Amino acid sequence: TPFDGHAIAPETAAFLAKEHKLLIGNEWVEGTGTMASRDPATGLELTRFAIGGAAQVDRAVAAARAAFRGPWRKMTVADRTAILFRLARIMEANATLLTQLDILDNGMPGFIAGLTTANCVEMVDYYAGAVMRIEGTTIAPPRHIAAETEALTYTLREPIGVAGLIVPWNVPLSTAILKLAPALAAGCTVVMKPSEETPLSVLALGQMIIDAGFPAGVVNIVNGLGAEAGQALAEHPHVDKVSFTGSTFTGKKIVQAALGNLKKVSLELGGKSPVVVMPDADLELAVPGVALATYFLQGQNCMAGTRIFLHESIHDQMVEGLKAFAGGMSLGHGLNPASFQGPMISDAHTAKVMSYIAKGQAEGATLVCGGQKLDRPGNFITPAIFTDCTPDMAIVREEIFGPVMAVQKFSTTDLDEIADMANDTPYGLSGSVWTRDLSTAHRLVSRIRSGHVSINCHGAVGTNIPFGGFGQSGWGREFGQEGLDAYLETKAVTARL
């Protein structure tokens, strides 16, 4: 049954019944065809949406360029601030719609979708507040001029220009807002390419952007396939910057596509983050914390902690606790408030996750629990725990992006050795350390090669806290001031007076 028998809000029903086109120059325009958006918890079609290719990307980039040269560039910072605050209020008033669209399109549990919508509003408010604090500096002028005459040197912080924003499906609204809000605050204009798996919340946002009063062309939304619309955007010679969130595999293609005009590139990529539980950890905290490090968003989470290192002294007790926690997680439709874990995004992704479960067993790891695809509509996989894992196994090395935990037992307490195990990965996005000894915690954190490490918690991201990857987890940072800097150029000016 549609929505698994749950009720949706009238505004969500009305949205799904609408035609969904591309947003170019504040007009909804046709694409080259349409695609279905499906509810991954039921497999049923929710609605159809227009998709575009190179021609539509070209029009959108032209609209963004015109807006950049014209009204957006000329708008006062006070007005730019006000319009962003207005968008935040409209999003807030439409929180139910945005939340339900992410639940339906992505499958995420309602409690997570509600949280991410609230965070998105906070993010727009945060960057709206940052517009007036974009500041340059004054510097001593160069000697050869200062020796001759009085002079003044200062820097300006200017928007990079037209930004191409390419986002994934795992947290659709949030990954989009993380780029959109700072890009607009900086004064850039944008062309956004949502994931073809989850276009809906960003399409709803498109109408809110029009309603907030953004001039035509400031925000353009071109849905489409990665290899078509995405590739065209990353390659486009009149795009000044591409900011990409997605897999490391696609991230490398983005870098190649950006070579033509050497556009600036930011990358938020995959992860295989370590979770280290020391002998003195508070296990009452660590059991649910480590379980959620892996299973939050059913493991479809870039910062998922999936390489679990358990000291031998607490290994068996932790595994028992994790097994009980995993067994107690209710799987179901995101609109059911009792659901703690949703489905995998698609049939293809389910097949990939299940292939890793088989691979783990073939490689000799012990499947303690889970790893079953439920015999019901939608792609639900029960949370899996593998123990007896070794560093060379595919389930330890590769990002699975599903509810699969790979546990390794260790016996040393030497922090360099522990850090070597934690750092044995090409990735470096997140990680956590669990111990009651804060000295151990901070010394271990300083040895872990990751952009974001938590102590006695995992994935503690926040609007004002920089987030991004070491190694093959990416280039640059989002959130906070660094998230804004990613859309600004520095211009140094010297004047002979």
By annotation, the residues acting in catalysis are 268
Nearer residue to ligand NAD within complex by CB, 193 or 409: 193
- The verdict on 38 binding ligand NAD (CB under 6 A) reads no
Interacting residue with ligand NAD among 67, 104, 128, 166 (CB under 6 A): 166
Among the listed residues 230, 371, 383, 402, the single contact to ligand NAD using CB under 6 A: 230
**Residue 269 binds ligand NAD (CB under 6 A):** yes
- Rounded least distance, CB 455 to ligand NAD, Å: 21
- The residue among 90 and 205 lying less far from ligand NAD, judged by its C-beta, is 205
Q: Between residues 39 and 478, which has the closer beta carbon with respect to ligand NAD? A: 478
Among 245, 266, 298, 339, interactor with ligand NAD by CB under 6 A? 245
Work out the angle between the directed axes of helices 10-17 and 95-106 (0-180°, nearest 10): 60
* Residue from the set 429, 433, 486, 488 that interacts with ligand NAD by CB under 6 A: 429
The CB density around residue 436, as the number of other CB atoms within 10 Å, is 13
Torsional class of 361: left (φ above 0), alpha (ψ -120 to 50), beta (otherwise)? alpha
- Would you say 463 and 478 are in contact if contact means Cβ atoms under 8 Å apart? no
Site for ligand NAD in 291-330 (CB under 6 A): 302
Query: Which regions of 211-346 does DSSP assign to beta strands (E)?
Result: 219-221, 241-245, 264-268, 273-277, 305-311
**Nearest distance, CB of residue 72 and ligand NAD, angstroms:** 24
Beta strand spans in 370-479 (E):
384-387, 404-410, 432-434, 454-455, 474-475
- Using rule CB under 6 A, residue 94 touches ligand NAD: no
Q: Which helix (H) or strand (E) holds 422?
A: helix 415-422
Residue 125: what residue type?
Answer: D
Nearer to ligand NAD among residue 134 and residue 297 (C-beta): 297
Position of minimal CB gap to ligand NAD? 226
**Looking at 49-57, 120-128, 131-139, 228-236, which segment touches ligand NAD (CB under 6 A)?**
228-236
Helix axes 95-106, 200-212, angle to 10 degrees: 160
Closer by beta carbon to ligand NAD, 293 or else 418: 293
Distance CA 494, CA 84 (A): 33
Q: What is the rounded distance in angstroms from the CA atom of residue 66 to the CA atom of residue 64?
A: 5
Q: Where are the beta strands (DSSP E) in 52-182?
A: 138-139, 151-159, 162-166
Q: What's 381's DSSP letter?
A: B
Please select the residue that binds ligand NAD; options are 114, 399, 450, 484, rule is CB under 6 A: 399
Q: Binding ligand NAD by CB under 6 A: which of 40, 107, 110, 271? A: 271
- Residue 417's nearest CA partner among 393, 438, 443, 395 is 443
Q: How many residues bind ligand NAD (CB under 6 A)?
A: 30
The residues binding ligand NAD (CB under 6 A) are 166-170, 175, 193, 195-196, 226-227, 230-231, 234, 245-247, 250, 253-254, 268-271, 302, 399, 401, 429, 469, 474
